[in-house]
Amino acid sequence: MWIYEKKLQYPVKIKNPNANYAKIIISQLGGADGELAASMRYLHQRYSMPYKEVVGILTDVGTEELAHLEMISAILYQLTKGLSSEEIKRSGLDTYFVDHTSGIYPVSAAGVPFDMKYVGIKGDVIADLNEDLAAEQKARVTYDNILRLVDDPDVRDPIKYLRQREIVHYQRFGDALRITQDKLNSKNFYAYNPAFD
Amino acid sequence: MILNEREKLLRQIQSEDFALYETVLFLDGHPHDEGALAFYRAHRDMLEKLKHEYTKKYGPLTIYDNQDEKCWHWIDKPLPWEKEAN
């Protein structure tokens, strides 16, 4: 089971609200490579993982992704706090506002609601870990793209932290894949599926 | 069903945890209820004692209580969703 800690993993303190930034950063909440997809991906892949080290990595990275989901929500909350109707209209956030007001609803920057179709659970260690490695790189690219579009240092700081965590997670999933391959037949990694056969 | 020592202790923890969680949900909506606060303190202290005992005997329940200086038991089996863990 989970226990909630009443703190963010890394501080979010944004002085100036900005609807334009919220409109793009929301992709890391409900987009294909966002934090919700990441947490759901890892926390559900755990069950079919045959090696305890890999289960441990998935549990703990998946849990950290929930903390990142909260950080993104905190960024969105602070970026949209106290905006005027005029600012919302000008930024183009009005198409979100009309349905969700200033509620936090997981959608992509293009307004597509979160979908479990973004998450791959194949029930095969090598396939799932490669999905995870790719997912971390895709999330890193999204953060890089956000950093290209956002100037405010108050927003960039937690985004840079989150970008860095994607790189660390990629390294840890690399460990997981190496541990897995060490346990398999090096002449044919695909001889059997240790989660099923 | 015959429970082993670990399973018995786990049942106690789960039941204390449940009592505490029920109290927490109530307290969220009634933050000044002194009776509920007293119940919360009693069950929290009991839970702490039980978790301390469990951790010492059977390994960590959270990432914060690995005791062994030589090994990271956090990843040890059985996993919570396996029959053997329950």
- Provide the ipTM: 0.91
DSSP class per residue in B32-81: T-HHHHHHHHHHHHHHHHHHHHHHHHH--SSTT----SS--GGGPSSPTT
Which regions of chain B are under pLDDT 50?
none
Does the A19-183 domain belong in CATH 1.20.1260.10? yes
- Closest Cβ–Cβ partner in A1, A46, A60 for B63: A60
Domain boundaries, chain B: 5-85
Residues in chain B with CB shorter than 8 Å from the CB of A1 are 17, 80
Mark yes or no for CB contact A52/B81 under 8 Å.
no
Q: How would residue A77 be classed by pLDDT, with cut points 50, 70 and 90?
A: very high
Rg (CA), chain B: 15
- The three-class DSSP label of residue B4 is coil
pLDDT-based confidence at A117, cuts 50/70/90?
very high
B44, B77, B79, B83: which to substitute to probe chain A, counting the most A Cβ within 10 Å? Answer: B79
- Are the Cβ atoms of A52 and B75 closer than 8 angstroms? yes
The alpha carbon of residue B77 is apart from the nearest alpha carbon of chain A, in Å, by 7
The closest of B17, B27, B73, B24 to B48, measured between CA atoms, is B17
The residues spanned by each domain of chain A are 19-183
pLDDT digits (tens, 9 = 90+) for B21-41: 999 999 999 999 999 999 999
- Tell me the pLDDT tens digit for each residue of A12-43: 999 999 999 999 999 999 999 999 999 999 99
Nearest to B75 among A1, A47, A55 (CB): A55
